Structure 1
């Protein structure tokens, strides 16, 4: 009886400390550990989704893809070697001071394209929106890191606690209608997995980067097949055409939406040789991997801004 009781006690202890929760394959990790992992994966170009300190399918998929790329077993778990690497992320959080220049990127953004077309630049909707995207974070996580913070009261000089990750600098992205070719990238391939909602960058048969995406919708799915990159643009102007968005047919009834971080296609357009279809950024990072798009492949703006420097016209894009 004693042995059986001891065995059960040890079993319960082992389960409690095994890193897994009952009824779930998700490891039990504290907020700081998950945040460290999210930062680590993000910095290695294996996008974990928005940094929020929570374990999710995004995090586990990114970790597995990273492990595979490193020639490791894709366990989706933090092993001792990785744990040691994560400890090097120090400090885990830092403080960011809002500036007047930052707030020049913040303004009112109407939801209707007819009104949006009157704006010279499509800005961030709030200072919290600006800070969240700058540090690749969920707005709710920024608020959690700053208890008592009132987003509507943020102003120049406000100090905000944020994840310690290299910031996405919107001000560094210049409008370029056609980026020059990069012949050294011509043999690279972009693989888009519609079902898994992932985009992989493949170089010499090796996945070197992977990001969560939103790939089309049921009514207008991403086009399955092998395509080529036809055009690469930063700070694109968007032609909002309801017929094109809903049915894939261009019409004469449209609105011209100027560039900016909350332009409907974000800060990057990688156009394919399929009319109206491209890989691009987003005006709402929270939706990436969760909602639908109009046939295109959507990324967060920071992932799109990284990707645009790794591709060239003529590269193959396989959508499957």
Structure 2
């Protein structure tokens, strides 16, 4: 018993010291990454418990990813500064990447208006910096900081940059596939989405297999709660841009067909649900995941949705929880009240009127 009473406090002291050493006080000025936080983010990202963009800073989605991973492993959930996960397998925070000539095939002119985008054959990255941030799942501010004094706006083939040590997102491996093959082994799995938490969880029975931050709809265009099915998964989809659908959920004849590419509004994957017009998809704005609103669908980072599609299949159940769309106010057109007719003009009385009154 003496041995046990001696060892246990020692373990607790070690764990507490490790936890409190994780977050410096005060925090360094943004965007300087905190090594311990970045190490945890890289670890969670590799397990597909997405902390969102890697930036080496504490935040909401890093904590949510940590807690869901702890729950999946049967550990007690803790705040960020209290975790005791073994991260020893993350031996390097950074690696290097040399920009290749062929990378330029995915970078080019990107018009801002749908009318101009519809005339292109491909919607590319607008810069090598955007190409790198998506490839290595990170914030542009992180790349800019860790590569000082290199100018990220002047990158060119042959340049070697420092990047987070994660499995890279390979845009060059994605080709258009109208419907990904079904996998019967995954049919019993369930996707559960909490639009209030802005989180998508993939379950196999009671076990969480993956967890990703999402951007759901809100207000009039809130993501519809309910139980749905996956009706198809499309790789490198096109997109029918219709302002009436985006704003009111009603199709119009005024639309544009936007081509494939990483800057397509639905990114590189579309997971269609049995609720018409609603799906889980990629995005052309990964830096805003969880911090803005969609037009009813659920978008997540391209690097996350591609990995998710390897764990799901057509026919699976998707359960969405959250507030229903806010009813739009009904405007009743009121008729404009008409002014009363003017009184008939009075005839002046003449001499004979008085005589014959």
C-alpha deviation, 1:80, in angstroms: 7.5
C-alpha deviation, 1:19, in angstroms: 5.9
Tell me if 1:267 matches 2:268.
Answer: yes
C-alpha deviation, 1:182, in angstroms: 1.0
Indicate conservation of the 8 Å contact 1:61/1:76, yes or no.
no
> Hey, what does 2:314 align to over in structure 1?
313
Q: Partners in 2 of 1:161 and 1:20 — Cα distance?
A: 23
> Hey, what does 1:43 align to over in structure 2?
46
C-alpha deviation, 1:312, in angstroms: 1.1
Indicate conservation of the 8 Å contact 1:109/1:124, yes or no.
yes
Alignment of 1:222-233 (within 5 A): 222-233=223-234
Q: Partners in 2 of 1:76 and 1:181 — Cα distance?
A: 39
Q: 2:310 aligns to what SS in structure 1?
A: coil
Q: 2:262 aligns to what SS in structure 1?
A: coil
C-alpha deviation, 1:174, in angstroms: 1.6
Choose from 63, 68, 81 the match for 2:66.
63
The range that moved more, 146-155 or 122-131, is 146-155
C-alpha deviation, 1:76, in angstroms: 3.0
Q: 1:215 aligns to what SS in structure 2?
A: coil
Change (3 A) 1:95 1:19: closer
Change (3 A) 1:21 1:157: closer
The range that moved more, 30-39 or 263-272, is 30-39
Q: Partners in 2 of 1:127 and 1:145 — Cα distance?
A: 16
Change (3 A) 1:20 1:88: closer
C-alpha deviation, 1:173, in angstroms: 1.3
C-alpha deviation, 1:81, in angstroms: 4.9
Tell me if 1:166 matches 2:180.
Answer: no
C-alpha deviation, 1:90, in angstroms: 2.0
- Normalised by the length of structure 1, the TM-score is 0.89
Tell me if 1:52 matches 2:55.
Answer: yes
Runs of 5+ unmatched residues, structure 2: 1-16, 322-357
C-alpha deviation, 1:18, in angstroms: 7.0
Q: 2:219 aligns to what SS in structure 1?
A: coil
CA RMSD across the alignment:
2.1
Deviations 1:58-116 (A, max 9, x none): 1111100100000000113466752xx32321221111100011111001111110000
Deviations 1:192-245 (A, max 9, x none): 000000000011221110000001122201011011111110000101011111
**Which is higher, the Rg of structure 1 or of structure 2?**
2
Change (3 A) 1:150 1:23: closer
Q: Partners in 2 of 1:316 and 1:87 — Cα distance?
A: 36
Change (3 A) 1:100 1:19: closer
C-alpha deviation, 1:152, in angstroms: 2.3
Give the length in aligned residue pairs: 300
C-alpha deviation, 1:22, in angstroms: 8.8
Indicate conservation of the 8 Å contact 1:107/1:124, yes or no.
yes
Change (3 A) 1:195 1:160: same
Runs of 5+ unmatched residues, structure 1: 1-13
Q: Partners in 1 of 2:282 and 2:319 — Cα distance?
A: 19
Change (3 A) 1:215 1:17: closer
Change (3 A) 1:20 1:43: closer
* Structure 1 stretches of 4+ moved >2 Å: 16-24, 76-81
Q: Partners in 1 of 2:274 and 2:305 — Cα distance?
A: 19
C-alpha deviation, 1:250, in angstroms: 1.5
Change (3 A) 1:88 1:22: closer
Q: Partners in 1 of 2:38 and 2:23 — Cα distance?
A: 18
Q: 1:176 aligns to what SS in structure 2?
A: coil
Q: Partners in 2 of 1:138 and 1:240 — Cα distance?
A: 27
Deviations 1:151-187 (A, max 9, x none): 2210000111001111000111121011121111111
Q: Partners in 2 of 1:129 and 1:42 — Cα distance?
A: 19
